[in-house]
Amino acid sequence: MTMSRLTSWLPSTVSRSVRAWAWTTWVVQVLIVVTGGAVRLTASGLGCPTWPKCTADSLVNTPEMGIHGIIEFGNRLLTFVLVIVAIGMFLAVIRGRRSRRDLFVLALVIGLGIPAQAVIGGISVWMNLNPYVVGLHFVVSAVMIVLATLLVTRVYRQGERADTEILSFMAWVVATLQGVTVVVGILVTGSGPHAGDADSPRNGLPSELLQHVHSYPAYAALLTTAVLIGVAWRRGRTDVSRVALILLSVNAVQAAVGIAQANLGLPELLVGLHMLLACLVVSATTWMVTVSRRLERQ
Protein backbone atom coordinates (compact mmCIF):
# COMPACT_ATOMS: atom_id res chain seq x y z
CA MET A 1 0.00 0.00 0.00
CA THR A 2 2.82 2.40 0.88
CA MET A 3 4.61 1.67 -2.41
CA SER A 4 1.35 2.24 -4.30
CA ARG A 5 0.97 5.64 -2.68
CA LEU A 6 4.55 6.55 -3.53
CA THR A 7 4.15 5.62 -7.19
CA SER A 8 0.56 6.73 -7.73
CA TRP A 9 1.70 10.04 -9.21
CA LEU A 10 3.82 8.30 -11.85
CA PRO A 11 2.39 7.72 -15.35
CA SER A 12 0.92 4.26 -15.94
CA THR A 13 0.62 4.63 -19.71
CA VAL A 14 2.73 6.16 -22.46
CA SER A 15 1.76 9.75 -21.86
CA ARG A 16 3.13 13.04 -23.14
CA SER A 17 5.53 13.22 -20.20
CA VAL A 18 6.93 9.76 -21.03
CA ARG A 19 7.56 10.89 -24.60
CA ALA A 20 9.22 14.06 -23.32
CA TRP A 21 11.57 12.02 -21.11
CA ALA A 22 12.39 9.76 -24.07
CA TRP A 23 13.29 12.71 -26.28
CA THR A 24 15.33 14.27 -23.47
CA THR A 25 17.22 10.99 -23.11
CA TRP A 26 18.09 11.10 -26.81
CA VAL A 27 19.16 14.75 -26.69
CA VAL A 28 21.54 14.33 -23.74
CA GLN A 29 23.12 11.21 -25.26
CA VAL A 30 23.92 13.15 -28.43
CA LEU A 31 25.03 16.16 -26.39
CA ILE A 32 27.58 14.18 -24.37
CA VAL A 33 29.22 13.02 -27.61
CA VAL A 34 29.34 16.53 -29.06
CA THR A 35 30.78 18.06 -25.89
CA GLY A 36 33.23 15.19 -25.62
CA GLY A 37 34.35 16.02 -29.13
CA ALA A 38 34.78 19.65 -28.11
CA VAL A 39 37.03 18.51 -25.27
CA ARG A 40 39.27 16.61 -27.68
CA LEU A 41 39.24 19.27 -30.41
CA THR A 42 40.30 22.00 -27.96
CA ALA A 43 43.16 19.79 -26.68
CA SER A 44 41.46 19.68 -23.28
CA GLY A 45 41.36 15.91 -22.96
CA LEU A 46 43.78 15.99 -20.05
CA GLY A 47 42.51 19.29 -18.67
CA CYS A 48 41.74 17.16 -15.62
CA PRO A 49 44.80 14.87 -15.59
CA THR A 50 43.25 12.16 -13.44
CA TRP A 51 39.90 10.52 -12.72
CA PRO A 52 37.48 10.44 -10.90
CA LYS A 53 39.00 13.52 -9.27
CA CYS A 54 40.14 16.40 -11.46
CA THR A 55 43.55 16.40 -9.78
CA ALA A 56 45.10 14.22 -7.13
CA ASP A 57 44.06 16.77 -4.49
CA SER A 58 40.93 18.35 -5.94
CA LEU A 59 37.58 16.99 -7.06
CA VAL A 60 37.02 20.04 -9.26
CA ASN A 61 39.24 22.00 -11.60
CA THR A 62 41.49 24.71 -10.16
CA PRO A 63 42.22 28.21 -11.53
CA GLU A 64 45.77 27.13 -12.38
CA MET A 65 44.41 24.61 -14.88
CA GLY A 66 43.01 27.38 -17.08
CA ILE A 67 40.45 26.97 -19.85
CA HIS A 68 41.36 23.34 -20.53
CA GLY A 69 40.46 22.38 -16.98
CA ILE A 70 37.15 24.23 -17.26
CA ILE A 71 36.24 22.50 -20.53
CA GLU A 72 37.16 19.00 -19.33
CA PHE A 73 35.49 19.36 -15.94
CA GLY A 74 32.40 20.87 -17.58
CA ASN A 75 32.10 17.79 -19.75
CA ARG A 76 32.40 15.56 -16.68
CA LEU A 77 29.59 17.45 -15.00
CA LEU A 78 27.29 16.50 -17.88
CA THR A 79 27.43 12.93 -16.61
CA PHE A 80 25.27 14.04 -13.69
CA VAL A 81 22.75 15.48 -16.16
CA LEU A 82 22.65 12.09 -17.89
CA VAL A 83 22.07 10.38 -14.55
CA ILE A 84 19.21 12.74 -13.63
CA VAL A 85 17.55 12.20 -17.02
CA ALA A 86 18.02 8.42 -16.76
CA ILE A 87 16.36 8.40 -13.34
CA GLY A 88 13.49 10.51 -14.69
CA MET A 89 13.05 8.17 -17.65
CA PHE A 90 13.12 5.10 -15.41
CA LEU A 91 10.49 6.54 -13.08
CA ALA A 92 8.34 7.49 -16.06
CA VAL A 93 8.04 3.88 -17.22
CA ILE A 94 8.35 1.83 -14.02
CA ARG A 95 4.64 1.89 -13.21
CA GLY A 96 3.71 0.65 -16.68
CA ARG A 97 6.49 -1.95 -16.84
CA ARG A 98 4.07 -4.88 -17.15
CA SER A 99 2.28 -3.54 -20.21
CA ARG A 100 5.37 -1.94 -21.78
CA ARG A 101 8.27 -4.12 -20.69
CA ASP A 102 10.28 -2.97 -23.73
CA LEU A 103 10.34 0.63 -22.49
CA PHE A 104 11.26 -0.48 -18.98
CA VAL A 105 14.18 -2.60 -20.24
CA LEU A 106 15.46 0.15 -22.53
CA ALA A 107 15.32 2.75 -19.74
CA LEU A 108 17.12 0.36 -17.38
CA VAL A 109 19.88 -0.53 -19.86
CA ILE A 110 20.46 3.13 -20.73
CA GLY A 111 20.72 3.96 -17.03
CA LEU A 112 23.24 1.16 -16.48
CA GLY A 113 25.19 2.24 -19.55
CA ILE A 114 25.97 5.68 -18.15
CA PRO A 115 28.47 4.37 -15.55
CA ALA A 116 30.11 2.35 -18.34
CA GLN A 117 30.53 5.56 -20.36
CA ALA A 118 32.04 7.33 -17.37
CA VAL A 119 34.42 4.50 -16.44
CA ILE A 120 35.74 4.09 -19.99
CA GLY A 121 36.23 7.85 -20.17
CA GLY A 122 38.17 7.68 -16.91
CA ILE A 123 40.32 4.82 -18.21
CA SER A 124 41.13 6.88 -21.31
CA VAL A 125 42.45 9.63 -19.02
CA TRP A 126 44.51 7.13 -17.03
CA MET A 127 45.98 5.85 -20.31
CA ASN A 128 46.89 9.32 -21.58
CA LEU A 129 44.04 9.31 -24.12
CA ASN A 130 45.04 6.08 -25.82
CA PRO A 131 43.27 6.28 -29.22
CA TYR A 132 41.82 2.78 -28.96
CA VAL A 133 40.30 3.45 -25.54
CA VAL A 134 38.95 6.79 -26.78
CA GLY A 135 37.53 4.93 -29.76
CA LEU A 136 35.86 2.39 -27.48
CA HIS A 137 34.33 5.31 -25.59
CA PHE A 138 32.74 6.54 -28.81
CA VAL A 139 31.47 3.04 -29.66
CA VAL A 140 29.71 2.82 -26.29
CA SER A 141 28.24 6.29 -26.83
CA ALA A 142 27.00 5.25 -30.29
CA VAL A 143 25.31 2.20 -28.74
CA MET A 144 23.66 4.50 -26.20
CA ILE A 145 22.34 6.67 -29.04
CA VAL A 146 20.92 3.55 -30.70
CA LEU A 147 19.14 2.62 -27.47
CA ALA A 148 17.87 6.17 -26.97
CA THR A 149 16.54 6.19 -30.55
CA LEU A 150 14.75 2.89 -29.97
CA LEU A 151 13.24 4.42 -26.85
CA VAL A 152 11.92 7.40 -28.79
CA THR A 153 10.48 5.28 -31.59
CA ARG A 154 8.75 2.92 -29.17
CA VAL A 155 6.94 5.57 -27.17
CA TYR A 156 4.88 6.17 -30.29
CA ARG A 157 2.29 3.75 -31.61
CA GLN A 158 3.66 0.86 -33.62
CA GLY A 159 1.81 -1.32 -36.08
CA GLU A 160 2.06 -5.03 -36.62
CA ARG A 161 5.12 -6.68 -38.07
CA ALA A 162 5.49 -5.92 -41.78
CA ASP A 163 5.65 -8.64 -44.44
CA THR A 164 8.07 -6.68 -46.66
CA GLU A 165 11.15 -8.62 -45.61
CA ILE A 166 13.23 -7.21 -48.46
CA LEU A 167 12.97 -3.73 -46.90
CA SER A 168 14.05 -5.00 -43.51
CA PHE A 169 16.97 -6.86 -45.11
CA MET A 170 18.09 -3.78 -47.05
CA ALA A 171 17.79 -1.63 -43.92
CA TRP A 172 20.05 -4.05 -42.05
CA VAL A 173 22.54 -3.94 -44.94
CA VAL A 174 22.62 -0.15 -44.62
CA ALA A 175 23.05 -0.45 -40.85
CA THR A 176 25.97 -2.86 -41.30
CA LEU A 177 27.66 -0.54 -43.78
CA GLN A 178 27.13 2.40 -41.43
CA GLY A 179 28.63 0.39 -38.57
CA VAL A 180 31.75 -0.39 -40.61
CA THR A 181 31.98 3.29 -41.58
CA VAL A 182 31.88 4.35 -37.92
CA VAL A 183 34.51 1.81 -36.85
CA VAL A 184 36.92 2.78 -39.64
CA GLY A 185 36.19 6.44 -38.89
CA ILE A 186 37.33 5.84 -35.32
CA LEU A 187 40.62 4.45 -36.64
CA VAL A 188 40.98 7.47 -38.91
CA THR A 189 40.46 9.77 -35.95
CA GLY A 190 43.00 7.82 -33.92
CA SER A 191 45.61 8.39 -36.62
CA GLY A 192 44.88 12.09 -37.09
CA PRO A 193 46.10 15.26 -35.42
CA HIS A 194 43.30 15.81 -32.89
CA ALA A 195 44.53 13.62 -30.04
CA GLY A 196 42.97 15.62 -27.23
CA ASP A 197 46.36 16.56 -25.81
CA ALA A 198 49.71 17.43 -27.33
CA ASP A 199 51.43 14.52 -25.59
CA SER A 200 48.79 11.86 -26.29
CA PRO A 201 49.74 8.96 -28.56
CA ARG A 202 48.37 8.20 -32.03
CA ASN A 203 47.67 4.72 -33.38
CA GLY A 204 50.33 5.00 -36.09
CA LEU A 205 48.05 3.78 -38.89
CA PRO A 206 48.23 5.40 -42.38
CA SER A 207 45.73 8.21 -42.10
CA GLU A 208 45.34 9.01 -45.81
CA LEU A 209 44.77 5.37 -46.73
CA LEU A 210 42.24 4.95 -43.91
CA GLN A 211 40.33 8.00 -45.12
CA HIS A 212 39.75 6.25 -48.44
CA VAL A 213 38.82 2.97 -46.72
CA HIS A 214 36.44 4.96 -44.51
CA SER A 215 34.69 6.42 -47.54
CA TYR A 216 33.94 3.14 -49.34
CA PRO A 217 31.29 1.71 -46.95
CA ALA A 218 29.89 5.23 -46.53
CA TYR A 219 29.28 5.57 -50.27
CA ALA A 220 27.90 2.02 -50.39
CA ALA A 221 25.47 2.95 -47.60
CA LEU A 222 24.38 6.02 -49.57
CA LEU A 223 23.75 3.94 -52.69
CA THR A 224 21.90 1.19 -50.81
CA THR A 225 19.73 3.76 -49.04
CA ALA A 226 18.82 5.34 -52.39
CA VAL A 227 17.83 1.95 -53.77
CA LEU A 228 15.82 1.21 -50.62
CA ILE A 229 13.87 4.44 -51.10
CA GLY A 230 12.85 3.31 -54.59
CA VAL A 231 11.88 -0.19 -53.47
CA ALA A 232 9.88 1.14 -50.51
CA TRP A 233 8.04 3.64 -52.70
CA ARG A 234 7.10 0.97 -55.25
CA ARG A 235 5.80 -1.28 -52.47
CA GLY A 236 3.67 1.49 -51.00
CA ARG A 237 5.75 1.84 -47.83
CA THR A 238 5.89 5.62 -47.74
CA ASP A 239 6.81 5.48 -44.05
CA VAL A 240 10.03 3.63 -44.86
CA SER A 241 10.86 5.78 -47.89
CA ARG A 242 10.34 8.94 -45.83
CA VAL A 243 12.72 7.87 -43.05
CA ALA A 244 15.23 6.54 -45.58
CA LEU A 245 15.13 9.89 -47.39
CA ILE A 246 15.94 11.64 -44.10
CA LEU A 247 18.88 9.27 -43.59
CA LEU A 248 20.05 9.82 -47.17
CA SER A 249 19.98 13.59 -46.66
CA VAL A 250 21.95 13.45 -43.41
CA ASN A 251 24.41 11.03 -44.97
CA ALA A 252 24.90 13.28 -47.99
CA VAL A 253 25.71 16.24 -45.74
CA GLN A 254 28.02 14.01 -43.70
CA ALA A 255 29.88 12.96 -46.86
CA ALA A 256 30.23 16.59 -47.99
CA VAL A 257 31.59 17.62 -44.58
CA GLY A 258 33.97 14.66 -44.58
CA ILE A 259 35.37 15.59 -47.99
CA ALA A 260 35.66 19.24 -46.99
CA GLN A 261 37.49 18.53 -43.72
CA ALA A 262 39.93 16.18 -45.45
CA ASN A 263 40.77 18.80 -48.10
CA LEU A 264 41.00 21.67 -45.61
CA GLY A 265 43.39 19.99 -43.18
CA LEU A 266 40.83 18.82 -40.60
CA PRO A 267 39.71 22.16 -39.10
CA GLU A 268 38.24 21.73 -35.63
CA LEU A 269 34.81 23.13 -36.46
CA LEU A 270 34.26 20.76 -39.37
CA VAL A 271 35.54 17.78 -37.38
CA GLY A 272 33.10 18.63 -34.60
CA LEU A 273 30.26 18.93 -37.12
CA HIS A 274 31.30 15.57 -38.57
CA MET A 275 30.95 14.01 -35.11
CA LEU A 276 27.48 15.49 -34.63
CA LEU A 277 26.40 14.22 -38.04
CA ALA A 278 27.78 10.78 -37.17
CA CYS A 279 25.42 10.71 -34.18
CA LEU A 280 22.50 11.71 -36.40
CA VAL A 281 23.41 9.06 -38.97
CA VAL A 282 23.50 6.37 -36.27
CA SER A 283 20.14 7.54 -34.96
CA ALA A 284 18.47 7.81 -38.37
CA THR A 285 19.76 4.37 -39.35
CA THR A 286 18.27 2.88 -36.19
CA TRP A 287 14.99 4.62 -36.93
CA MET A 288 14.94 3.27 -40.48
CA VAL A 289 15.59 -0.32 -39.35
CA THR A 290 12.79 -0.01 -36.81
CA VAL A 291 10.29 1.42 -39.28
CA SER A 292 11.13 -1.17 -41.94
CA ARG A 293 10.04 -3.97 -39.57
CA ARG A 294 6.71 -2.43 -38.57
CA LEU A 295 3.68 -1.18 -40.47
CA GLU A 296 2.82 2.42 -39.75
CA ARG A 297 -0.42 2.93 -37.82
CA GLN A 298 -2.70 5.69 -38.98
The larger pLDDT score, comparing residue 58 to residue 161, is at: 58
Q: pLDDT-derived band of residue 294, with 50, 70 and 90 as boundaries?
A: confident
> SS3 helix, strand, coil % of the chain, rounded to 5?
75, 0, 25
| Average pLDDT value for the chain | 92
Per-residue pLDDT tens over the stretch 197-255? 888 999 999 999 999 999 999 999 999 999 999 999 999 899 999 999 999 999 999 99
Strand locations in 148-209 (E): none
What is the average per-residue pLDDT within 126-143?
A: 96
Per-residue pLDDT tens over the stretch 137-157? 999 999 999 999 999 999 987
Domain boundaries, the chain: 11-156, 161-298
Comparing CA positions, the residue from 101, 102, 93 lying closest to residue 20 is 93
Is residue 225 classed exposed, middle or buried when 0-12, 13-18 and 19+ CB atoms within 10 A define those classes?
buried
Q: pLDDT-derived band of residue 99, with 50, 70 and 90 as boundaries?
A: confident
Q: How confident is the model at residue 146, as a pLDDT?
A: 98
| 233/18 Cα distance (integer angstroms) | 32
The larger pLDDT score, comparing residue 280 to residue 295, is at: 280
* Cβ within 8 Å of residue 171, ≥6 positions away: 228, 240, 244, 288, 289, 292, 293
Q: pLDDT-derived band of residue 158, with 50, 70 and 90 as boundaries?
A: low
Q: How confident is the model at residue 98, as a pLDDT?
A: 86
What is the average per-residue pLDDT within 74-103?
A: 93
Confidence check: pLDDT of 6 > 60: no
Stated pTM of the model:
0.93
| DSSP assigned state of 295 | P
